[in-house]
Chains A and B, each alone.
Chain A
């Protein structure tokens, strides 16, 4: 083994250990959940979804964590990532593998494509959460697993929407919710595994058009609960994306099955 490669590997392994140590997951109980998206057997019909227990990263992936990932996976560095997996703005503001540790390390990494996010999660034995997992986790507040009926919960989401995007997001580590998960609202948008199955039409008013339903049963969206619009805006954002796209305000966190769960 050439020395240079060995050294890189050593650094990479060290970095991986750091990353692994930093990755903190919380246990989410799952269970029955009423999504804003119709979950019925027939398109457009509502039904309660059943979510298996899972683990979710307590914070979005940080720039420091993603830098460590780039050290180990040079294919995902800005210069190397193939265009089909990441658009031109991919990691345009860093981090790069050879950046020294410094200010901004605790900020959530943004400008990552769905492919890159998925690769990161796989590298630590996880995956991106599904929309239902993400939505059910995000329904919590500090004391309740489902606080969505509380106007204060909705107002907290909306207050973030009401601010124009900051030049750079704040550091991760907001107040924990009842599950110990942080920053689901008010910091960045987050990729989900099935982002492209949420909402099929760019023109939201055509939801329920049989033509579109033929392609995607989950696509029909109806505002049965008028308070859902706060979450709907997240769906609208995600559904405007393609998997190679990156945004300054879009990061991700990973999920994984419970230990011992064969899934």
Chain B
């Protein structure tokens, strides 16, 4: 009984993999029990030659309702290309590009793979497709000398996005020279329609010379072993996806990115600046993560990221291990054109000066005042200048640079009757703060000023002297000693004693 239950459960489990395959169910039903999940039976119809595309383009969706025999012809080409402006590098490629040609098949397809090694090549190569179920992912079956062609066949059992790469010794060097790409195994029902599909793949590169050092650059094994890349790039070259070659979309369109990471060493923190991925099939798997800012793509892994463009502009794709983006080349651009939507993003609304506390240029006057005070030569002028600098850094944020305050919120210091009425009281305000209702120049205020306990006696004295001598205030001078006394008295904090 128990055995029967388990077997029933197994059958149910297998069957559940086929939900949504109504059209296929009748066809595949007899084979179901015997075959692995994803095996939809023998290929039907005439063999089909797969359409391969160069990055950043993706072959069109398949729209086929039956498993077929699909023939893939992929040629290995060794050639020199620019890795950066004026920097030549000998790449080893699948199909003449880095990353290699994008391959798109349907789950259940029988793929007849032909790997051709250009007679002009120097090296032997092979291919390991992560979408293959079998030892080496096809590597041992595809070891091919220059001027030769290998053929092997596999069944695409699992749907998803998979990396392929060369696995000939030294493997790391073949990958570092650009030998990787993506193969998409579409689910039988296809993928939801989107407006754009793009192919982006990250890789790290190790050149003998420094970043952007011109001329022919050889591969540097030492750097590769130490995992110190000279370049980290999307699609094999600096500028491969910027300027005229930027990816394009219009506002309100859906974009699906097939993002791979060839490595050989680095893991990618893939991020599009200014966009949030609505959906990510992280690690290329079946689970969907929503509302993702940055998705991690392992070396030898891939993800499918989908989002809708909302407002126009240039969206920068980066590896958010951010020195790679700005110092090693890991930058790409998605250019979105169309109508602005100010309700989503306003553009710049305000550009005002913000001075951090004690912004550097102000410190000179403060330092001079401190020195004069120490020597006993402190003049009114010294105090005012130092006070102005300190006021700008500390007080002007609320009381404003012109001392006018903000009506009803921050009381004015300019022509302030509250200040003029009692200078001794004024000394206690920066020391202990002021909370509660007061009236200044006829306007009531009820707010909180915290104690400015970061200011020393000299500084408080200088600020008050500056205030007293500005904006038509009565003038006068506050000394550090007076501040010191006020501080020592521990007089109750100035409270809203009214006026």
Contacts and interface: CB of A to CB of B under 8 A. Distances in A.
A232 B139 CA distance: 18
B79 A221 contact: no
Given A89-B119, A248-B120, A249-B122, A237 B140 contact: no
Interface stretch (B165-173, B425-433, B491-499): B165-173
Name the residue among A155, A167, A227, A248 with the largest chain B CB count within 10 angstroms: A248
A188 to B, nearest CB: 9
A226 interface: yes
Interface in B97-151: 119-124, 126, 128, 135-136, 139-148
Interface string A146-173: 0000000001001101111101000000
A247 interface: yes
Contacts of A239: 124
Given A203-B167, A205-B136, A247 B147 contact: yes
A163 B92 CA distance: 11
Nearest to A154: B221
B216 interface: yes
A128 interface: no
Contacts of B168: 202, 204, 236, 240
B122 A161 contact: yes
Contacts of B80: 163-164
B171 A247 contact: no
B147 A205 contact: no
A228 B432 CA distance: 74
Contact of A202 (B119, B122, B126, B146): B126
Interface in A215-256: 221, 223, 226-227, 229, 232-233, 235-237, 239-241, 245-249
A164 B171 contact: no
Given A162-B90, A241-B145, A223 B170 contact: yes
B218 interface: yes
B379 to A, nearest CB: 69
B283 interface: no
A187 to B, nearest CB: 12
A201 interface: yes
Contact of B143 (A155, A227, A229, A240): A240
A237 B219 contact: no
B145 A245 contact: yes
Given A203-B128, A248-B146, A232 B169 contact: yes
A165 B147 CA distance: 13
Contact of B136 (A203, A227, A247): A203
Contacts of B142: 202
Contacts of A42: none
Nearest to A230: B221
B122 A240 contact: no
A163 B121 CA distance: 10
Interface of A: 89, 155, 158-159, 161-165, 167, 189, 199, 201-206, 221, 223, 226-227, 229, 232-233, 235-237, 239-241, 245-249
22 contacts: A155-B218, A162-B216, A163-B80, A164-B78, A164-B121, A165-B146, A202-B141, A204-B168, A206-B135, A223-B170, A229-B170, A229-B221, A233-B169, A236-B123, A236-B124, A236-B168, A237-B122, A240-B144, A246-B147, A247-B145, A248-B119, A249-B122
Given A162-B218, A204-B167, 20 more contacts: A161-B122, A165-B78, A165-B121, A199-B169, A201-B140, A202-B139, A203-B136, A204-B170, A205-B139, A206-B135, A206-B140, A229-B221, A233-B169, A236-B170, A240-B124, A240-B143, A245-B145, A248-B119, A248-B146, A249-B146
